[in-house]
C-alpha cells in the first residue's frame, strides 16, 4: 500500500451531491396532486420505502387498485408513525404526488383514517391536509433537531454515543458529496441486492439516519450506521496492514486516538483496490455535536483527494434499529 502524506490546505474537489438510492422525485410529479378514497388492500412496512395498495370503488365495475410508496420505516419511526396505525380493510383517503408514468401509482404524503378522524402525515416537510376534520399523527421535531438536550451534564462526554443527522441542518443533512469515477471499486462481495445494495462506505457516512460509535473494550471500536445495517469494525492501536479479508464495501479499518479525536484509516485490499479513506471524529466543545471529516484518496490517480465534512447532533433517547431493507419490484417500476 502506497504511503500518502496529506498536505494541509488541500483544495476541495467539487463533486455532485449524494442522492438517495431511489430518486422518487424523478418518478413522481412533485408539483402535482392526486387524492383518492378507498380501502387498504396490502401493506409492506419495510425500508427503503413503505408500500401500500388501495382498492377504489371496490366491488363495482370501476374497481381500481392503486400502488403507493412513501417515506422510509427508518424515518417514520422517528416521527411516531408505526405500522400498527393502519390495517388491511381500513377505509382511508390518500393524497400525494402522481406518478409521471402511470395513472395508478402515487407517492403518498397524507393518509386519512376516515372512521378514526386521524391523519397520518408521512412527509416530514408536509403540513396536515385535513386539519378541520382530523387530528395529526406524526411529528418531524426529531428530524429537525427540536428535541435537543439542554442540560449540559446529560450530554455525552466522549464520541461514544448515538448521533443524529439534522434534516435541513447546514453541514449535517446532505453535506456529503460523491467523488468522481476514479473512486469506483469493483467489490469482490456485494452487501445487499437490487434496491437494497448498500452504498460505498464513504457515501454511507452521509446517511440521513442515526449512527453510533461503541467501544467494545476488546481492542476494537464499532461504527454503526443504521442505513443498510452498516457495521464497521475498527482495529485500534495497530499498524495498518490490510490482510484482504474484508471483501465488501466496508473495507478494513484501523484507528487511534489523538487526544479526544478518533482517527481512522480504511482500505480495500480485499477487492484489490488502492482506495484509501482517512476519517476523524471529534466531540464538539459543547458536547452536543460529533464533528466528522473524510479524505478520500486514490494513490494511483493524479486527481486531488476528495474532502468531505459533516456533523451529527446528540438528541435524548436516540436509538438505532434494524434497517431490514426489502428489494421490492415496486421500486423498479415493475408494478
Helices marked H in the chain: 24-27, 73-77, 201-204
- Regarding whether 161 and 300 lie in a shared domain, the answer is yes
Cα-based distances in Å from 327 to 44, 102, 171, 332: 11, 21, 31, 9
- Regarding whether 163 and 107 lie in a shared domain, the answer is no
Tens-level pLDDT at each residue, the chain (335 residues): 444 433 333 333 333 344 344 467 789 999 999 999 999 999 999 999 999 999 999 999 999 999 999 999 999 999 999 999 999 999 999 999 999 999 999 999 999 999 999 999 999 889 999 999 999 999 999 999 999 999 999 999 999 999 999 998 999 999 998 899 999 999 999 999 988 999 999 999 999 999 999 999 999 999 999 999 999 999 999 999 999 999 999 999 999 999 999 999 999 999 999 999 999 999 999 999 999 999 999 999 999 999 999 999 999 999 999 999 998 776 554 43
**pLDDT at residue 9, as a whole number:** 35
- Regarding whether 110 and 161 lie in a shared domain, the answer is no
Phi-psi region of 330 (alpha: psi -120 to 50; beta: other; left: phi over 0): alpha
Q: Are 235 and 253 in contact (CB under 8 A)?
A: yes
- Regarding whether 230 and 114 lie in a shared domain, the answer is no
Cα-based distances in Å from 215 to 3, 212, 287: 28, 10, 18
Q: Are 313 and 156 in contact (CB under 8 A)?
A: no
Residue 289 is assigned to a structural domain of this protein: yes
**pLDDT at residue 23, as a whole number:** 64
Using CA atoms, how far apart are residues 74 and 320, in angstroms rounded to an integer?
9
CATH of the domain at 95: 2.40.50.140
- Regarding whether 163 and 83 lie in a shared domain, the answer is no
What is the domain extent for residue 309?
152-313
**pLDDT at residue 333, as a whole number:** 44
CATH of the domain at 279: 2.40.128
**pLDDT at residue 4, as a whole number:** 40
Among 97, 91, 101, smallest CA distance to 49 is for 97
Amino acid at each position: 500500500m502506497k504511503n500518502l502524506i496529506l498536505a494541509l490546505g488541500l483544495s476541495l474537489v467539487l463533486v455532485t451531491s449524494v442522492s438517495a438510492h431511489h430518486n422518487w422525485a424523478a418518478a413522481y410529479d412533485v408539483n402535482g396532486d392526486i387524492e383518492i378514497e378507498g380501502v387498504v388492500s396490502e401493506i409492506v412496512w419495510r425500508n427503503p420505502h413503505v408500500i401500500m395498495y388501495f382498492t377504489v370503488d371496490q366491488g363495482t365495475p370501476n374497481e381500481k387498485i392503486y400502488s403507493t410508496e412513501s417515506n422510509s420505516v427508518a424515518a417514520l419511526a422517528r416521527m411516531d408513525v408505526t405500522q400498527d396505525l393502519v390495517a388491511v380493510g381500513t377505509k382511508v383517503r390518500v393524497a400525494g404526488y402522481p406518478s409521471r408514468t402511470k395513472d395508478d401509482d402515487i407517492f403518498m404524503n397524507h393518509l386519512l383514517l376516515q372512521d378514526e378522524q386521524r391523519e397520518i402525515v408521512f412527509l416530514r416537510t408536509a403540513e396536515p391536509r385535513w386539519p378541520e376534520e382530523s387530528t395529526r399523527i406524526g411529528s418531524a421535531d426529531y428530524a429537525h433537531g427540536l428535541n435537543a438536550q439542554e442540560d449540559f451534564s446529560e450530554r455525552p462526554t466522549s464520541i461514544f454515543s448515538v448521533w443524529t443527522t439534522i434534516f435541513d441542518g447546514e453541514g449535517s443533512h446532505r453535506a456529503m458529496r460523491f467523488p468522481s469515477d476514479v473512486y469506483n471499486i469493483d467489490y469482490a462481495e456485494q452487501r445487499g441486492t437490487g434496491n437494497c445494495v448498500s452504498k460505498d462506505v464513504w457515501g454511507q457516512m452521509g446517511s440521513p439516519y442515526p449512527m453510533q460509535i461503541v467501544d467494545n473494550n476488546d481492542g476494537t471500536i464499532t461504527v454503526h450506521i443504521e442505513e443498510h445495517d452498516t457495521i464497521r469494525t475498527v482495529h485500534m492501536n495497530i499498524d495498518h496492514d490490510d490482510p484482504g479479508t474484508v471483501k465488501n464495501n466496508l473495507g478494513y479499518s484501523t484507528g487511534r486516538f489523538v487526544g479526544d479525536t478518533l482517527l481512522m484509516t480504511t482500505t480495500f485490499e480485499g477487492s484489490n483496490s488502492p482506495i484509501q479513506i482517512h476519517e476523524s471524529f471529534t466531540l464538539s466543545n459543547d458536547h452536543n455535536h460529533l464533528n466528522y471529516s473524510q479524505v478520500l484518496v486514490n494513490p494511483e490517480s493524479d486527481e486531488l483527494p476528495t474532502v468531505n465534512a459533516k456533523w451529527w447532533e446528540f438528541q435524548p433517547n436516540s436509538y438505532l434499529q434494524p434497517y431490514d431493507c426489502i428489494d421490492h419490484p415496486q421500486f423498479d417500476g415493475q408494478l
